[in-house]
Amino acid sequence: MEVSSLGSSVLVVLHNVLSIQRVVEMAKVVYGMGFTTFIVSKAAGAAAQTGVPEAQKMALKRGKNFLYLSDLPDVMELFSPKSVYLFVPKGYGKGLFSPEEVIDEISRGHRVVLIFGGLDPGLSKKELELGKAVCLPYVDSDLGPIGNAAVALYELKKYYGGVK
């Protein structure tokens, strides 16, 4: 399996966001780390009006995929992922994020979704029922969605062999 396969098998979702900057920075992290699909769900206010179009423009310029969906159930319906990981602050997760587990799913041909909450405190209890709530094992305090995504995607690439 090629490194590009990793980038297309992992879908990164930023859910429930109001900040233009958060949408744009997350797009930079996702595309900059070589992942091809970034999804924003449930954006409101300035994030929906300005952040979403900016992320779309960035995707088009880089030959990447960007989708805006109204809510997380739409992501599940359209992509039918085998595994869903929802990133939460330490102490709220039911497990630790395991890049090995994600790579194992991908190597079996499964699609994986990584979801990051765009607002503090993050994801609701109902949203957490959509998958496995995880936190990063080597982080002492909450990094926020951009920091968590950067670390998680880096770890996936590193474990997969895409980081030199």
CATH of residue 139's domain is 3.40.1280.10
Q: 4 pLDDT band (50/70/90 cuts)?
A: low
Tokens in use for 58? Answer: 């960035």
- Give per-residue pLDDT as tens, 82-132: 999 999 988 787 899 999 999 999 999 999 999 999 998 779 999 999 999
In angstroms, what CA-CA distances link 65 with 8, 55, 57, 88?
A: 9, 10, 10, 25
- How far is the C-alpha of 102 from the C-alpha of 85, rounded, in Å? 9
95 contacts 88 by C-beta, under 8 angstroms: no
pTM: 0.93
pLDDT tens string 32-89 = 999 999 999 999 999 999 999 999 999 999 999 999 999 999 999 999 999 999 999 8
27 is in which domain, residue-wise?
A: 3-160
Counting the structural domains of the chain, the total is 1
DSSP 8-state class, residue 10: E
How far apart CA 57 and CA 40 sit, in angstroms, is 14
